[in-house]
Structure 1
Amino acid sequence: MKTRIAAAVGLLTILVAALAYGQDHGIPTLVNIPFKFSVGKKEMPAGKYLFVPDPEVGSLILRNKDNGKAMYVRIRERLAHVSSSEKPSVRVVFDTVGDQKFLSEFWPATNDDGYLLGVTKKEQKHLVLSQ
């Protein structure tokens, strides 16, 4: 009986580990943003930010490393990666309207898909920050 219980617990442990390994949690990525910007209606100061995407719950955690404050940013859409011969790098895209910058996209360096985070309805230009 003890052998069956031990085997069942071992099998369950392997199954849970396999499921956890297959989760699509993003790798935390540190990005230095040298200017103030907006996420929705919230203004964020310049500084170092940790981006942690979690597409399963449809959000990205954005944490300011200088003051420790964090917020959830809704992932509006997953953006397909277009393969290229270039080495993948972290890219953060901002929509610029006048002198304001709005967080728009996040592309991790893992060569994975990107994430659409914000949409600016006004006429804008894209500012791409690569690191």
Structure 2
Amino acid sequence: MTIVVGYVPTPEGEAALTQAITEARKASTTLLVINSSKGDAPVDTRYAQEPEMQGIEGRLAAQGIDHVIKQPVRGHDAAAEVLDAAEEHKADLIVIGLRRRTPVGKLIMGSTSQRILLEADCPVLAVKASMAG
């Protein structure tokens, strides 16, 4: 069994990671952390920097969670990276964080979460920042 978590350095991303750790511990399974960037901008706030990823690595190791951390920069959007990882690793669960968006924001930017929810071949657990744990 593998659990995939889509991580971004935000409260929602932290909520997703925290919940994914809980789920991985309960199932005694591997946790695959995906933090991606299209690589199309000089600065991408969704892409975690090395110190933050080292912190996640240390946190997972300290808790004895079998894990893999990937930070692909292949020009794909975040939803595609999470869905591809879930398919490649035959994930049993995807964990994502949700945030409130305005109707205009949804129209202009689309929704990574919505795409994952609709296109995933396995169950998806969506958490809000205030719900993790």
Determine if the TM-score, normalized by the shorter chain, exceeds 0.5.
no
Which structure's residues are more often strand, by fraction? 1
User: What TM-score do you get using the length of structure 1 for normalisation?
Assistant: 0.31
TM-score (norm 2): 0.31
Larger Rg: 1
Judging by fraction of residues, say which structure has more helix. Answer: 2
More RCO (CA 8 Å, sep 6+): 2
